[in-house]
Structures are given as structure tokens and as C-alpha cells.
Amino acid sequence: MFKRIFQMPKKSFFLLGPRGTGKSTWFRTQTFDLVIDLLKSRTRLELERNPSHLHALTAPIASGGWVLIDEVQKIPALLDEVHSIYEERGINFALTGSSARKLKRSGVNLLAGRALNFSFFPLVYPEYGDAIPLMDRVEWGTLPLVVDQMEHRADTLETYVDNYLRQELVEEGIVRNLEPFTRFLQVAALMNAQILNVENIARDAQVKRPTVDKYFEVLIDTLIGYRLPAYQPGLKTKEVAHPKFYFFDPGVARAAAGLVREPLDRSQLGFQLETFILNEVRAYNEYSRRKRDLYHYALSGGRDIDLIIQLEKKTTSKSDRVVAIEFKLKNKWDSGWTKQLEEFRAWKGASSVEKLIGVYTGEQRLKIGNVEVFPVDGFLKALHSGEIY
């Protein structure tokens, strides 16, 4: 249904992204001399027993040809063979996966500098445009398998979370005892888009603190979630140091929290909106190769700014430069939000703050003082066209 904007690189690369984001579908639109799908048990068993068999499989391919290995994390030992074949014969490899955990522990650094690293995301604004109503995206996310059959979205998301638990974690041996992890996952999802308090999550999930730390690393390594670090420029003495934690898709966060059969209240919808927009920014940051550092900024007592984009890093001779963005699930922009952004600019210094931006669910684009205010889709259009940064 939707043309993906990710462009095929010109040299060997890793493409990592959660299951269901459409990696395999995208690859079917590309041309390869050989496709090796490690989800197929016969192929996987053959190469598990003898990874060097990859040399025989690629023997007919000329230098400069392309080989796709789908779900390469299933057999990390293949990376040694890939390295050897690339060096000896100049064959390019496209290596895909839905988990970085095994790769991190199994010699992926052998390919450093020889294979580019890319991430793949659910559908983003340039791909779906006006085809999906805003609140559907906010409440249900933009996984292709959800968007493709919206009438079955609750069932699809519940099945997605169940299959993720079973296939990615249990079958891979990442989590040995599913019951405490299931409790943790629900609590973590209920705290999605909020400042991370591991002690509270451990207490609510009835899981030990060190185990909760491990479980968060599992979510990050399997690409289901990520931490947004705190921005601490030292403007105020009570700056929050804890990161926020987000799921990679608001629909998956809702399903993991067990809320696909429940109407979401205003507070939950606000966190869903924040998750949705932030993931669009992450996707743009990756696909455009801007690769800017992203943060949140908060002061003790509840005042915060949802997103800080660091355009330039601080050096010994100059301050860093940032864009500060606030997201609001409101149809009318409040002057108090403008004041909060303006205060941040005053604390940090006007020359260090490139832009102040508000994003809301209203319809008009506004300019209030130094703050540019965008409707959500207007912001996404400006983002992906390079207008924001």
C-alpha cells in the first residue's frame, strides 16, 4: 500500500528494526543475487551446523553482487563468513535483524567500517500522508500489519505482543521465566513516555531491581524500546537526571499495557501522542542521516520540555545549539506553554537556542513571540522536508 522512503545503500549494511515494521516487504522490492532467509528452518539448520557453507552458496556470485541474509541474528557465527567473503571476493551483503542482542555479543565489530548501520521504523508521514487519520496513528500506531487491516487492529496488536514474547524472548533464550517479565512489560508500558523510575516499576511488577534493569536492556536490545536521556546543561540546580523510556510504536505500547480493549483517557492519549511524534523524529533523524542527539529536559517539580534536539555539541569555546519542542494534545494553544519555552530560551541564551517549537492537535500554524506552533501534520511535513533541522 505504501512506498517506503528508505533507500538501498551502495555498500554492505545492517538493517535492524523490530518485527512487523516491513523490512522483509521492503527487501522484496530490491534485487539480490541470493536471498537467505534464516526464518526458514531448513536453511537455518544447515547454516547453524556449518556456517562456512555460506562460501559455497555465494560461489556463483561475481564481485559487486548482492546477498541478503534475513534475520542474521539467528546465526551470529555467519558474520565471520560474511567478513571473509566480503574481503576476499568483494560481494556486498544486506544483513537484517530484529534484535541487536546476539549481534552485540557475537563479533559484530568484525564488520565495523565494512558495513553501514541503519534502523527501520514503522510507517512514517512521507509514506502514509493523509491516508491515516491522526488519532488512529496516535491510538493504534503505524505498524504496516496494523494499518493494513484496521478493523482487526486490537487483535493484531495483542497477537504481536504475544508473538514477541514467545518468539523473540523465550525461543531465543533471552528471558527464561516469562511470568515476571510479563508483569514487568505491562508496568513498563503503563509508564511509557514518562521519566524512568526503576524502583517504582520493580515494586509494582513485584520484580527485583537488578532484574528490572536487565529487562529494560532486553527491550532496548530487541529494539522494542529506547531511553531518551535527560538534557542537563546546568541552567538550573534541580534539573532531572533520569531518562524517559518509550516504546517504538504507540500501538505496541498500548497493547503491552493491556489497553487495546479499553478507551484511553486524556492523560494516556497525551503519552501516546508524545510517543508517536517522537518516533517520527527518530525515523527522520535516521533516514535523513542527520543523526542528532535527542533529549528531554525536566526540572524537579514537574516542569519539562518534551524534546531537545542538539544541533551542535558544546566545545571548550562555545555552547551547544539546540531546538526545543513541546507536544500538546490540545486543539487550542495555551500561552503558558509559550512562556515555558521562552523561559528555557532565556536561561540558556538566545544564541544557543536555534528554534522554539510547539506542536498541538489544533489546525492553525501560529507564531507567538519566538515560538513557532504547528498542527501535528504540519510539523511532520516540515520535519521530513528538513525545515525543522
Q: What number is the average pLDDT over the span 169-178? A: 80
- Does residue 27 register a pLDDT over 80? yes
**In residues, how long is the chain?**
389
Supply the CATH classification number for the domain 13-119: 3.40.50.300
Contact 49, 18 (CB under 8 A): no
What is the pLDDT confidence band of residue 169, given thresholds at 50, 70 and 90? confident
Provide the percentage of residues in the chain whose pLDDT is more than 90.
Answer: 86
- Does residue 311 register a pLDDT over 60? yes
Q: What number is the average pLDDT over the span 269-290? A: 98
DSSP state, 165? I
What is the pLDDT confidence band of residue 9, given thresholds at 50, 70 and 90? very high
DSSP, collapsed to helix, strand or coil, labels residue 29 as: coil
Summarised one tens digit per residue, pLDDT across range 119-166 is 999 999 999 999 999 999 999 999 999 999 999 999 999 999 998 887
What is the pLDDT confidence band of residue 55, given thresholds at 50, 70 and 90? very high
Classify residue 81 as exposed, middle or buried by CB count within 10 Å of its CB (0-12, 13-18, 19+).
Answer: buried
Nearest to 260 by CA among 204, 329, 186, 191: 186
- Does residue 232 register a pLDDT over 90? yes
Provide the percentage of residues in the chain whose pLDDT is more than 70.
Answer: 97
Q: What stretches of the chain show up as alpha helix (H) in DSSP?
A: 23-27, 41-49, 53-58, 78-89, 101-104, 125-128, 134-140, 144-147, 153-163, 178-190, 198-205, 209-221, 250-256, 266-287, 335-348, 376-384
Pairwise CA distance, residues 377 & 211, whole Å: 40
Contact 120, 26 (CB under 8 A): yes
Half-sphere exposure of 302 (CA within 13 A, CB side): 0
What is the pLDDT confidence band of residue 111, given thresholds at 50, 70 and 90? low
Average pLDDT over the chain reads 94
- Does residue 113 register a pLDDT over 90? no
Nearest to 223 by CA among 117, 359, 91, 329: 117
Q: What number is the average pLDDT over the span 290-299? A: 97
Taking the CA atoms of the chain, what radius of gyration do you get in angstroms?
A: 22
Q: What number is the average pLDDT over the span 82-106? A: 86
C-alpha cell at position 317 = 569555546
Q: What number is the average pLDDT over the span 280-289? A: 97
User: What pLDDT does residue 112 have?
Assistant: 62
Summarised one tens digit per residue, pLDDT across range 183-203 is 999 999 999 999 999 999 999
Which residues touch 88 (CB under 8 Å, ≥6 apart)?
Answer: none
Summarised one tens digit per residue, pLDDT across range 320-365 is 999 999 999 999 999 999 999 999 999 999 999 999 999 999 999 9
- CA 192 to chain centroid, in Å, comes to 13
User: What pLDDT does residue 328 have?
Assistant: 98
- Does residue 108 register a pLDDT over 60? no
Question: For the chain, which residues make up each domain, given as ranges?
Answer: 13-119, 125-384
What is the pLDDT confidence band of residue 36, given thresholds at 50, 70 and 90? very high
SS (H, E, C) 66-100: EEEEECHHHCCCHHHHHHHHHHHHCCEEEEEECCC
DSSP, collapsed to helix, strand or coil, labels residue 282 as: helix
- Does residue 114 register a pLDDT over 90? no
Nearest to 141 by CA among 98, 96, 97, 189: 189
- Does residue 282 register a pLDDT over 70? yes
CA dihedral (50, 51, 52, 57) positive or negative: positive
Across 174-178, 351-355, 376-380, least confident range = 174-178
Pairwise CA distance, residues 145 & 102, whole Å: 26
User: What pLDDT does residue 183 have?
Assistant: 96
